[in-house]
Amino acid sequence: MARRGLLALFLVLSLSQTNAQQQLQRYNIDPSKTTVSGISSGGIMAIQYHFAHSTRVHGAGVYATVPYMCGFGGVAAATTCMSTPNLVNIPFLISEANAMASQGYIDNPNNVQGDPVYIYHGSQDSVVRPGSGPNVREVYQHFGARIVSKFDIASDHAQPTNNYGSACGSSAENTAWISNCNYQGAFEMLNHLYGGSLRRPDGNTVANGDFILFSQSEFFNFAPSLSSMDTAGYVYVPTGCIDKTTPCALHIAFHGCVQNRAAVGDVYARRAGYLEVAELNNIVVLFPQTIASTLLGNPNGCWDWY
């Protein structure tokens, strides 16, 4: 999706109350509480978005991903990032980030200083090798982020929950890349991003807010498919935010490859653990959606990180 389109999409935040695709209405969002997260290609998209718009994005949480600028050299560089993280040149990535800022392509990365960042990487990840997690941490440490990292759970390539998904350590391909690891990954991440005092969901927590399919098309001057983007995405508005008077936080969650609406429906949005945390803590959660496109060289509906 174009940079301008993403900014408009995230800042307008409009939606309506039906299950059909709807244009967005406005909600009472506190701009100082805008954060992002993602898994795999969605994780690097979250990192890219954090660095690119660090004046208005104030924290990031990532699962099973690679550091900023790691795939910028193309497919070969991306493959190295994922499969042989020990060969990644971290000082070079840092210099590239600074160069991007000096040319005006991204905000000053010094804005990342003090931002909360959460990094999860399963110790049995067979898609993005576990050494990538420390690489992500090293880049963020250089720019002074406040980091919490979790690398000691024996999960494969997946986002961890305590109530849904494949058995921890087994392949999560058939459960939308979500694993039940007896660990509330979404809560631990959001709790760090929002100060450490969020209410924790339990087995009785129900997400009774509005879960809505919204139109992404209004943010393009052309067909979204030309950017490998879906015509629709999901957004969850907690009960406490529906009346539009309560100031609420905004969190944008980027799915991974083969985890988009066309591939898994709303399973990632509903089952990765975000909604219950959002409901208890007045966090509006936006789930933008890609599509697969062989024409654009994106057969798995990934976010563009190389």
Catalytic residue IDs: 40, 125, 157
Question: Edge to edge, what strands does the sheet with 116-120 contain?
Answer: 146-150, 116-120, 60-63, 29-39, 248-254, 283-287, 232-237, 210-215
201 backbone φψ class: left, alpha, beta (φ>0; ψ -120 to 50): beta
Write down the residue that tokens 């003090």 correspond to: 114
CA dist., res. 82 & res. 291, Å (int) = 22
Write down the residue that tokens 């002074």 correspond to: 144
Are the C-beta atoms of residues 120 and 181 closer than 8 Å to each other? no
Residue 198 phi/psi, 5-degree rounding, is -70, 155
Local structure of 33: helix, strand or coil? strand
Residue 143, C-beta contacts closer than 8 angstroms, at least 6 positions apart: 94, 97, 109, 110, 112, 113
Strand ranges (E), the chain: 29-39, 60-63, 116-120, 146-150, 159-161, 166-167, 178-180, 210-215, 232-237, 248-254, 283-287
